[in-house]
Structures are given as C-alpha cells and as structure tokens.
Structure 1
C-alpha cells in the first residue's frame, strides 16, 4: 500500500538535481552530495535515487524529494525498501530535437548513406522502437522511474540521426564553485550527542532557527546604528532590555557597542551594570567633546568616560549621579553626546526616562534607527507602552515610522515566583501572551521573554540567565537587528 504524501515528513529538505552537462547533486538540508557520474541522464537519476534511498534507510522512514532535471521537475516519495511514489510532476517545455536537414551536408552524407540508404524507406524495426520510446517519455508523468536492468541499447541508427553536434557552452554559464552552503552537523540535543559519537546528524528545526538568529545578530552594517528603548512607565524592564540587547549584539557581532543612560536627570543603568575605575558620566563626556571629536585624539581616550563590561563586552555611559545637582540634559547636549559616541562606536543602545515630552527624550528619537518598547505583563505597563507608541505615531514622519517598525518585548511578570502554583504561573503566561497578541498587529515584531530571577535585582550578566531566557533574548536581539 502506498504512503499518503501528507504522512511523509518534509524534514530534512531534500533536493535532487540532474543537469544536462552530465553532473548531478543531492542536497540534504543544505548539504550538497555529489552524485557519481553516469553515461546517461537516466543513469545519473538512478545514482541520485540510490543516495536518497540510503538517506531513507538512515532515517528508517520514507522521505520527500524535490527532483529537477532537463525534462521537468516534481516531487517524489522514496522508501527505505527502494520503492518510489510520485507526488507531482511537471514536464519542462518541449524542446525541439535536432532534425536531419533536408539536404545532407557533403561531409556527413557518406556516413548516413552507409547506414540508411537514401532511396530506401525508413527501417521498420529499430526506428519504430526509438519512436515508441520517445513518445512514451514525452507523455509519461512519472518522475524519474528507475531504468530497467534489461533496457537494450539504443540502435546506432537512431543515435546517428538524432544526435546533433554538441553546442559549446560559454564559460560564463558554468562554475566550479559549490553554490549550496555546507550544513554543519547538529551540536544540540540528542542529534548533537549522536554527532559527537561519530554518527553525523543534521540539526533540528530548533537549532537551525537559533543559527539563523545568531547569523542575524552577527551581521555588520554600514554606518552606526542607534536603538532607543522606551516606555513612559517605570518598572517596564527598560534597563534590563538595554543591558541584554547590548550584551548579545556586542558578543555576537563584535561591533563596538555602548549603552547610554539618556535619563534627563538620574537613571538606573549604572546601578545594574559593572562600574569602571572612575565615576564619570555623560556630563563629563559632553564637557570633553571638543577634545574627543578632534582628529588627533586616540580612540582609546573614550575609556576615560565609559564603564566597560568585562564579561559582556560592551561599554556603559552613565547618567549624572550627583544627587545634589539639578542639571537636566538638553536636546543640544544629546546631539553632542551622540556625535561623540557614533565616532567611537558602531552601535548605540539608549536607555530613557519616563517623560516623552522631555527635550532629551524627543531628541533621542530624532537620532533613533530602531525603536524597542519593553513591557512587563502587567496591564498598566502595557497601557503605557501603547500610549508611547500612539504618541510617536501621532507625530507623523520619522516618529510614526519608528512606531510602525518597533519591536515590542513582553517579559513575564517579575512578580512571578518559582513558588507560585501551577494555575498562577499559567495565568501569568496567558497574560503575557494576551499582551503580545494585542501589540502584534501594530508593530514589526513582538518577542516574549520568560521570567528569570537573574533579571530582577543586582548587576545583570548574560551568563547568569537560564538557557531558555538566553535563547529568548537572542530572538529579541535578532528581531531588533533585522531592522538595521
């Protein structure tokens, strides 16, 4: 009994390609395997099918295969016991075979006349067989039927009549480089365990998704980029979001990254990160801006004003922490500090205060390339996030574009505890999902972050997070980097 196509897993993605230049390859989950050469297209097909049967036997189940060759393309199910089922097939547009000219050139005439006398009628046996074979091939919709072992060779007469002089291909139409990327074996889960034991396994869909997120956050982009993390409500997870995005983007991309506390007076970013050997803040950097912007100033001079995070590889520019001071950062000072930082860093991640009307808040938005709106799964934080986006959208222009392309990061309530009952934990997760679904139609991306006690109090370190939390923040950083 045949297998219903829907019952056969589409994983791993398998393609078999036979080319009219005598080469073929089987691509399994992006990993190219060269098919042994054959004397004909049909022999290349059989060799390709043999490789796929081997894959089916390794997996101990049927596999789906997309097939492509000069005669058409389709989908095939290959079983471990060497059986094949056609799912679909579409022949290629008919190509005219080379026909013998009405007047045979003098240089070819002796050979043709010697095999097929000119005045005699067309031979009945061999040509009839050739014609029948060609007709069957043109109407048969079964993709890649294996050639019978007893197929007689084509008569020499047909070969002479139908073979045309080979067409020389341009060197521009070919390449010796392998176009398909080499897929590295699995490193995670039981597949990774089997790989380490010597049985090469392809990665799971989850591992492939993680690799894609790593690729996204590891990219380099032309020119500096500025991320603004905003929510007009305190306790919405702005500072942890700034730290985590800075840590992940700095770790994976290797780009010089600075987290800047753009609170109009005194922020908390300095409390949640590592302190350097000095106590300088953004006001000191602004005072030294003329020197820092001088062409003769060494790049290492910026270290006098920022606090390096030794484990997470980014720097922090603190807000003014002088409790006796009453200075509020102005829009002009934001311009100066941003000009300095984008000279020394490729990525600027800005923390913010809670006042969307403040001059420094509005000027921060002017410099922003990507907006991030963090929110904990508490309704007043979510409502404040909505109002923040609504305010930006109502301003139109650049502000509205930032709101439409924002990334919303929904963290499960920090009130959640491990000691909570199962019902309470479920309600917390359901509330986070409700809020995430509510924002989804209005922004570019929404990412959920699980509760993690390492984010609640004290200095924040990427390595201190649980693995599920690290994975979620990687997805969040990838969503942000996709907007660069």
Structure 2
C-alpha cells in the first residue's frame, strides 16, 4: 500500500542539488554531503539518490527531498526499500532565440522552490548507482518536442556563477590509529581504516553547530537504568567537541542524584533559586555571566549542572509552569539542554519536559525489568500521539552492560552479560531510530563521573551514542 505525500514528515529537511558542472551535494538538516562524481548527469543523480535512500533506511521511514538540477526542480518521496515517488516536478524553461540575454539571478543556479504537493504517481524503484537503468526517476522523462519547437530552442550559455575552481571535497587525512597510523608516522602514508573513518564521522557529527537551542530528555520510568550517567556522558561529549554552551538539568520532581555524581560549585543553589531569579535573568540588561550563580561548572568536561531542589524536607515538587520558566532561562544562556528525569511519567514536570524536547534518549541497563520499563516508557509516549509519538519513534536507546558485572566475573559470565545486552539492543532496534551499546566500566558505577576516567573502549562507545543523538538535531 502506497504512502500519500501528506503522510511523510518534512523532517529532516533534505535537499539534493545537481549542477551541470558535474558536482552535486545532498544537504541533510543543514549539513552538506558531497555526492560522489559520476560519468554522466544521470549517474550523478543516482549517487545522490543512493545517499538519500541510506538516510531513509537509517530512519526506517520514507523521507521528503527537494531536488534541483539544470533540467528543473521538484519534490520526491524516497522510501527505505529503494522506491521513489514524484510529488511534483517543474522543468526548467527553454530559451528561445528571440529572447534577449538575461543578467538576472535566473542565469545562476536556481533557488530551491517548494511547491504544493500534487497527487503522487505509482512508486518506482530507485536505481542502484552501480547498475545501468532504462529510465531515470529524476527528472521525469520530458514531453516529446516538435521539430519546430526544438529549432526555436537556443543553446543556454552557462553562468560563471554555476562553477568554481575551488576543490569542495577536503583531502583525506592519513591514518593516525593502529598499524596504519604507525606506518604513517614512519613515513609511509596510509589511508585510515574503516574504524578510524567511522570515528572521524562521529566526531564531525558531534562537533557541528545547529541553529537555535536543542533539548535532550533522558527518560526511563525505572530507577537504576543509567539515566544520570547518560546525562553526564552526553553533556560532556557534546560540550567538549562542539564547544556549545551546555547545561545538564536535573528535572526530578523532588530530589535527583545528578548533583551527587558531578562537581559542586562554590554555592548551594538549585533550580528553585534559578526560577526565583528568572525575572532578572531574562532581563535584556543582565550579563550572561550571571547564570554562573545558579549552575555548577564541570571543570574538566566543560558543561554546567543545574541541580534539583535538595531541601531536606523534600516538600516541593516542580510544576509544569516552573519547567517552562526554567527552560526559558536556560535556552537564553545555553545552546544545548540535557535533562535528567524522575521515574514518574505522569508527573507534571515530566510531561512538560517532553513538550520542550527535541530528542529523546532512553537509557537501559541490560536487566529485564529495566528493559521492560524502557519499553513501557516508549509505549506511553507513542500512545499519546503527536509530538510525543514522534519522539518515541525517533528515540535513541542506549543499552549498557549490567553494572552488576564485576571484573572478577568468569569469562562465561561476562559473555552471558554481553549476550543479554545484545538481545535487548536487538529487541529495541525495530522500534526506534538508533540503538547503541555501552560496555561495562567501573568508572560509571560510583562517585563523580568523569569522561577521562573511562576506559578507551567506553569513551568510543559513548562518542557513538552522542553522535546518534546529535544526528537527530
């Protein structure tokens, strides 16, 4: 059964641009990806479509893409199973000999024009870039021209704006890791391995800046599911690599543990103090440094922490309105807000947190009841529909090997722990955007959490997790 255009979300924003100078790019959520060169214009289109099919497969759903090339512009729907639907297409107008030369921007590469969706034709399979095709899916075959019209069409003089002598693709840096890196340092230049290239791509992803603030919610209705370590690790990696002002906010309805696992500043202020001072903090005349009075800076990991109320009486529960106020303040001073949460999905502050969320993260330790609680959390959001359901479908699940594991465990016991983590990861994979596994690391079990205290394999796994999260921005 086909997908109607109105059923396909416009997120992420994807554009495919093919130029008649033999270059092309796919712009995904503001990030440009250079399309591999082809021997023909159609092969260049095929290579661009292959990148878009890969994105649809990653998201496990169809995506919209706006296309433009010298022959016209329009909109396609690209499916994960390599099917393509044309929503709209407008050929570029042909020039006639009688027309005077134009010096308007129309002679340059055309701007992307969004057109109203038209009824979608029957889907057709996307071509394999390595396989010749009989009829290109993009652009549609032109209407037959009469000889008279063909004679009137004049050659189109290319604009100097459509080309460049600059090399757009950066040179590949030589290997720095493993035996390839060793040989490079000895004077024999070696290309990086697939593993190193993957790590470089993860670093590039988490290092990007995005327009406007972003809010990440880390949720699981079961305690002991690794929520707080996940908040700390994501905040540390995103702050370190992107340089974006980042705050980790403990949005527990009463008392949370984020403050116990991070550095304490020179004061005892919490989210309630920030809310009380919100009028001053939101004043245009207030200096940006004033926020330091209310947050606790992490000197090594370069992010700030907004603690939950630590009143010993525990007599205050954060309301939805207070979440709105605190979020307004934080998004004025920070580009990235990572929210820890309590265990009650029915709490007012929990639900309002979801309203402000751009990316959902569901941590789970490889224990059955934690995994079941994670599933129920996602199910609750999915059942609410709208924004909540979309967050659940686009969620990143982070599966950590059981913190009950010890270094003294036998090899067989460790294997069982890893197998259980893989089983749980495989179980979530069909229902969310990404699943990442994290190995057991004693540095995450007790005491303050520091990125540099982790084992190299754990650091690499958390980098992959942060890249999966940032890929949803």
User: Aligned-pair RMSD on alpha carbons?
Assistant: 14.3
- In structure 2, the residue matched to 1:443 is 432
- In structure 2, the residue matched to 1:19 is 19
On the 8 A contact 2:85/2:123 being kept in 1, the answer is no
Q: Structure 1 residue 195: deviation in Å?
A: 1.3
Q: Does the C-alpha gap of structure 1 residues 403 and 101 become closer, same or farther in structure 2, counting only changes over 3 Å? A: closer
Q: Structure 1 residue 416: deviation in Å?
A: 0.9
On the 8 A contact 1:66/1:76 being kept in 2, the answer is yes
- CA distance in structure 1 between the aligned counterparts of 2:450 and 2:117, rounded to whole angstroms: 89
Query: Matched residue of 1:85: which SS?
Result: strand
Q: Structure 1 residue 178: deviation in Å?
A: 1.4
Mean CA deviation greater in 58-67 or 470-479: 58-67
- The structure with more radius of gyration: 1
Q: Does the C-alpha gap of structure 1 residues 108 and 345 become closer, same or farther in structure 2, counting only changes over 3 Å? A: closer
Q: Does the C-alpha gap of structure 1 residues 243 and 234 become closer, same or farther in structure 2, counting only changes over 3 Å? A: same
Mean CA deviation greater in 304-313 or 92-101: 92-101
Q: Structure 1 residue 17: deviation in Å?
A: 20
Q: Does the C-alpha gap of structure 1 residues 97 and 72 become closer, same or farther in structure 2, counting only changes over 3 Å? A: farther
Q: Does the C-alpha gap of structure 1 residues 426 and 169 become closer, same or farther in structure 2, counting only changes over 3 Å? A: same
Q: Structure 1 residue 93: deviation in Å?
A: 23
- In structure 2, the residue matched to 1:159 is 148
On the 8 A contact 2:231/2:338 being kept in 1, the answer is yes
User: After superposition, what is the alpha-carbon deviation per residue over 1:201-236, rounded to whole angstroms, capped at 9, x for unaligned?
Assistant: 111100000000001001111111000000000000
Q: Does the C-alpha gap of structure 1 residues 397 and 126 become closer, same or farther in structure 2, counting only changes over 3 Å? A: closer
- CA distance in structure 2 between the aligned counterparts of 1:481 and 1:259, rounded to whole angstroms: 16
Aligned length: 471
- CA distance in structure 2 between the aligned counterparts of 1:427 and 1:323, rounded to whole angstroms: 41
Mean CA deviation greater in 157-166 or 19-28: 157-166
Q: Does the C-alpha gap of structure 1 residues 455 and 4 become closer, same or farther in structure 2, counting only changes over 3 Å? A: same
On the 8 A contact 1:20/1:70 being kept in 2, the answer is yes
- CA distance in structure 2 between the aligned counterparts of 1:435 and 1:199, rounded to whole angstroms: 43
On the 8 A contact 1:29/1:202 being kept in 2, the answer is no
Q: Does the C-alpha gap of structure 1 residues 71 and 290 become closer, same or farther in structure 2, counting only changes over 3 Å? A: closer
Query: Matched residue of 1:106: which SS?
Result: helix
On the 8 A contact 1:30/1:180 being kept in 2, the answer is no
User: After superposition, what is the alpha-carbon deviation per residue over 1:423-474, rounded to whole angstroms, capped at 9, x for unaligned?
Assistant: 1111000000000000001000000000000000000000000000000000
On the 8 A contact 1:14/1:64 being kept in 2, the answer is yes
Q: Structure 1 residue 63: deviation in Å?
A: 35
Q: Does the C-alpha gap of structure 1 residues 98 and 344 become closer, same or farther in structure 2, counting only changes over 3 Å? A: closer
Q: Structure 1 residue 167: deviation in Å?
A: 12
Query: Matched residue of 1:43: which SS?
Result: helix
Q: Structure 1 residue 171: deviation in Å?
A: 3.7
Q: Structure 1 residue 180: deviation in Å?
A: 2.6
Q: Structure 1 residue 52: deviation in Å?
A: 30
- CA distance in structure 1 between the aligned counterparts of 2:468 and 2:113, rounded to whole angstroms: 72
- CA distance in structure 2 between the aligned counterparts of 1:126 and 1:280, rounded to whole angstroms: 57
The gaps in structure 1 that reach 5 residues or longer are 128-135, 149-153
- CA distance in structure 2 between the aligned counterparts of 1:119 and 1:332, rounded to whole angstroms: 44
Q: Structure 1 residue 100: deviation in Å?
A: 30
After the TM superposition, list the runs of 4 or more consecutive aligned residues in structure 1 that deviate by more than 6 angstroms. 1-127, 136-148, 154-169
Q: Structure 1 residue 418: deviation in Å?
A: 1.1
Q: Structure 1 residue 325: deviation in Å?
A: 3.8
The gaps in structure 2 that reach 5 residues or longer are none
Mean CA deviation greater in 59-68 or 108-117: 108-117
Q: Structure 1 residue 322: deviation in Å?
A: 1.4
- CA distance in structure 2 between the aligned counterparts of 1:337 and 1:119, rounded to whole angstroms: 45
Q: Does the C-alpha gap of structure 1 residues 5 and 474 become closer, same or farther in structure 2, counting only changes over 3 Å? A: same
Q: Does the C-alpha gap of structure 1 residues 76 and 423 become closer, same or farther in structure 2, counting only changes over 3 Å? A: farther
Q: How does 1:184-223 map to 2 (within 5 A)?
A: 184-223=173-212
Q: Structure 1 residue 200: deviation in Å?
A: 1.3
Q: Structure 1 residue 346: deviation in Å?
A: 0.4
On the 8 A contact 2:109/2:162 being kept in 1, the answer is no
- CA distance in structure 2 between the aligned counterparts of 1:106 and 1:51, rounded to whole angstroms: 28
User: After superposition, what is the alpha-carbon deviation per residue over 1:102-151, rounded to whole angstroms, capped at 9, x for unaligned?
Assistant: 99999999999999999999999999xxxxxxxx9999999999999xxx
- CA distance in structure 2 between the aligned counterparts of 1:113 and 1:376, rounded to whole angstroms: 47
Q: Does the C-alpha gap of structure 1 residues 105 and 435 become closer, same or farther in structure 2, counting only changes over 3 Å? A: closer
User: After superposition, what is the alpha-carbon deviation per residue over 1:142-201, rounded to whole angstroms, capped at 9, x for unaligned?
Assistant: 9999999xxxxx999999999999999764454211133211111111111111122111
- In structure 2, the residue matched to 1:144 is 138
On the 8 A contact 1:90/1:141 being kept in 2, the answer is no
TM-score by length of 1: 0.67
Query: Matched residue of 2:328: which SS?
Result: helix
On the 8 A contact 1:86/1:142 being kept in 2, the answer is no
Q: Does the C-alpha gap of structure 1 residues 63 and 427 become closer, same or farther in structure 2, counting only changes over 3 Å? A: same
- CA distance in structure 2 between the aligned counterparts of 1:273 and 1:483, rounded to whole angstroms: 26
- In structure 2, the residue matched to 1:151 is none
